[in-house]
Amino acid sequence: MRDMRNVLELAGRDGYAVGHFNVSDLVLLKAVFSSAQELNVPVLVGASEGEREFMGVNQLAALVRSLRAEFDFPVFLNADHTHTLEKAKEAVKAGFDAVVFDASALPFEENARQTKEAVEALKTINPEILVEGEIGNIGTGSEIHELAPDLSKYLTTPAEAKQFVDFTDVDVLAPAVGNMHGMSQKMVEGKSKKRLDIERIAQIRTAARVPLTLHGGSGTDDEDLKQAISAGISIVHINTELRVAWRSGLEAGLNAQPHQVVPYKILPFAVDSVKEAALGRLRLFNHVRQFTIEEKNGMISTT
Per rule CB under 6 A, is residue 142 in the interface with ligand G3H? yes
Q: Would you say 196 and 225 are in contact if contact means Cβ atoms under 8 Å apart?
A: yes
Residue 134 Cβ, how far from Zn ion at the closest point, in Å?
Answer: 8
Query: Is 104 a binder of ligand G3H (CB under 6 A)?
Result: no
Instruction: Single out the residue of 229, 34, 210 nearest to residue 133, CA to CA.
Output: 210
Identify the CA nearest to 226 among candidates 201, 259, 207: 201
Site track 178-207 with ligand G3H (rule: CB under 6 A), x = hit:
---xx-------------------------
Determine, following the binding rule CB under 6 A, whether residue 234 of this chain makes contact with ligand G3H. no
**What is the 8-class DSSP label of residue 156?**
P
Q: Which of 51, 49, 110, 108 is nearest to 81 (CA)?
A: 49
Phi, psi angle pair for 213, to nearest 5°: -110, 140
Q: Shortest distance, CB of residue 140 to Zn ion, whole angstroms? A: 9
Does 286 help bind ligand G3H (rule: CB under 6 A)?
no
136 interface partner picked from Zn ion, ligand G3H, none, CB below 5 to 8 A per type: none
- Pick what 156 binds: ligand G3H, Zn ion, none; C-beta below 5 to 8 Å, kind-dependent: none
Asked if 22 is part of the footprint of ligand G3H (rule: CB under 6 A), the reply reads: yes
| Catalytic residue positions, numbered | 80
Tell me which of ligand G3H, Zn ion, none is bound by residue 217, counting a contact when its beta carbon lies within the kind-specific cut-off of 5 to 8 angstroms: ligand G3H
Q: Is 237 in the site for ligand G3H (CB under 6 A)?
A: yes
Say how far apart CA 303 and CA 300 lie, in whole Å. 9
Asked whether the beta carbons of 246 and 274 are under 8 A apart, the reply is yes
